[in-house]
Amino acid sequence: MSHKKVEREGGSPAGDPERFQALASLLSAVAHPVRLLILEHLLGGVRCVKDLNDVIPVSQPNLSQHMAALRDAGLVDCQSSGPLRCYYVIRPSLVRTLLASDPQGYPARPRSRASVLAELRRFTAKEVR
């Protein structure tokens, strides 16, 4: 079976490893309910660690670890003034898009064995041509 790269709209290959690595890193960074909650609060504006800790039910060291992961992913940044550290979202459109996703709005579609095999036959027939 051939693994040709398919051209996406805009001319870049759909199988671009760098693109997939960046996407995997981003998804890994947001793949925690606490981080999603943090991002939701930060979309409302700049929040200092104490303010976040008041509304997010984790210890301060744990909150700091989550903030570091979000910073490493390039989603948030902070400004410090003495002991005060305040965070903000640096990619708000991306974060809004991520948070707008509703997994329950995409129901699973189980398929019969016969339909899967029929699709496989059609796909392999196209590959042979």
What CATH number did the domain enclosing 25 receive?
A: 1.10.10.10
**Confidence (pLDDT) at 107:** 87
Residue 123: pLDDT above 90? no
Query: Looking at the DSSP assignment, which residues form a beta bridge with residue 13?
Result: 7
Q: Is residue 88 part of a domain?
A: yes
Q: How confident is the model at residue 103 (pLDDT cuts 50, 70, 90)?
A: confident
Q: Is residue 80 part of a domain?
A: yes
Q: Is residue 123 part of a domain?
A: no
Task: In whole angstroms, give the CA distance from residue 32 to residue 73.
Answer: 13
Provide the percentage of residues in the chain whose pLDDT is more than 70.
88
For the chain, how many structural domains are there in total? Answer: 1
Q: Is residue 18 part of a domain?
A: yes
Task: In whole angstroms, give the CA distance from residue 68 to residue 14.
Answer: 30
Answer for the pair 58, 34: CB distance below 8 angstroms, yes or no.
Answer: yes
Task: In whole angstroms, give the CA distance from residue 60 to residue 50.
Answer: 8
Residue located via tokens 């998804």: 27
Residue 129: pLDDT above 80? no
Q: What's the domain range around 30?
A: 7-101
Note the pLDDT tens digit of each residue in 7-63. 545 555 567 899 999 999 999 999 999 999 999 999 999 999 999 999 999 999 999
**Confidence (pLDDT) at 3:** 41
